[in-house]
Structure 1
């Protein structure tokens, strides 16, 4: 999961469009609420042994880890050409924009963006829809 605000921020680091950032990072869920700031999704990450429960529409999901990035985001989604200095610039900007409230041992490095989620068995098959509200429910033990 990622927010549109995060994609917009990261796109500005590389002078690319939000659509290009979206295609580079390939999230399954994107929160586009206008009041959601960049890196909002970082609040869905807790310490090892914990997850953050959140609801999207009628489905309850768990935020587990910040997503460690591979080489794909450093490539132009249209041509496959490498963006020079992508990793270095990303690391520098991600560290500089770390939210003050982010307090978790899950960020052992800054080449992370988005949140890996878990769908509990009870939620498999629950439909999500564009425009569903998102609500953070709190930390749960794994």
Structure 2
């Protein structure tokens, strides 16, 4: 099989649950429309996210089709409450302030969102086979592993760690195309504490990072430059949109091609 785009996930509010979509616009910044477009921040301007708050994992959420509303709950959907993400947002901010035990506000950036890597704000890319391989390391389901790593674009029709071809040994951007859009692969994505936790409870998986690094080093494809790994707790590829790329929507089923 030839590589193709098998899944698109966006995360409308940073650290909240994702939304699987069939098609998505690519913004001029390289970000996917609606991905991490909102974020909760504390009084000092720091993100209120899963890195800092393990309690974030216990929050379940779903979004309206136009992403203008969020419904949140902690235990059962029967206790869910729906809030507006466009003005007025005070009720949602009050809910967040109560839950996290400090004042929080909702911020919005419709041009680039709030990516972890602002130098490479394009979608993160990973293969389905990679996620399944990592799932097998820990006896996790594919769905749980997908939720832990929170990548945007999932490629199928390829072997595990195929996406490691999307960055170069020299560090120069690696061009590849999904549908009509040309991206640059930049570097293997450095992971944080979030994948070490159960995505639904926040409970820590013992020795997750140590085992991951050992397995990752052992399974790194021979053609991939180890010099791009100052450590092996890296998975998926950070991207930028190539200058002057045709910004057509991405759609599940689009072909994926590495450009020479």
Please say whether Structure 1 and Structure 2 have the same fold, judged by a TM-score greater than 0.5.
yes
Question: Which runs of structure 2 are paired with 1:30-45 in the superposition (5 Å)?
Answer: 30-33=154-157, 36-45=158-167
Asked whether 1:83 is paired with 2:205, we answer yes
For residues 189 and 197 of structure 2, the distance between their equivalents in structure 1, rounded to whole angstroms, comes to 17
Q: 5+ residue gaps in structure 2?
A: 1-124
- SS of the residue corresponding to residue 187 of structure 2 reads strand
Distance apart, 1:32 and its partner CA: 1.8
- SS of the residue corresponding to residue 102 of structure 1 reads coil
Which residue of the other structure, out of 179, 191, 199, is the alignment partner of 1:69? 191
**Equivalent residue for 1:10?**
134
Question: Which runs of structure 2 are paired with 1:118-133 in the superposition (5 Å)?
Answer: 118-123=240-245, 125-133=247-255
Deviations 1:95-130 (A, max 9, x none): 110111112521121010000010134237421000
- SS of the residue corresponding to residue 96 of structure 1 reads helix
Higher helix share: 1
TM-score (norm 1): 0.91
**Equivalent residue for 1:103?**
225
Aligned length: 136
How has the CA–CA distance of structure 1 residues 124 and 71 changed in structure 2, closer, same or farther, with 3 Å as cutoff? farther
For residues 17 and 2 of structure 1, the distance between their equivalents in structure 2, rounded to whole angstroms, comes to 16
Which segments of structure 1 move beyond 4 Å, counting only runs of 4 or more? Answer: none
For residues 151 and 145 of structure 2, the distance between their equivalents in structure 1, rounded to whole angstroms, comes to 10
Larger radius of gyration: 2
Q: 5+ residue gaps in structure 1?
A: none
- SS of the residue corresponding to residue 42 of structure 1 reads helix
TM-score (norm 2): 0.50
Which residue of the other structure, out of 168, 171, 174, is the alignment partner of 1:52? 174
**Equivalent residue for 2:144?**
20
Deviations 1:5-53 (A, max 9, x none): 00000000110001111000011111022xx000000000113440110
Q: CA RMSD in A?
A: 1.3
Q: Which has the higher contact order (CA 8 A, sep 6+)?
A: 1
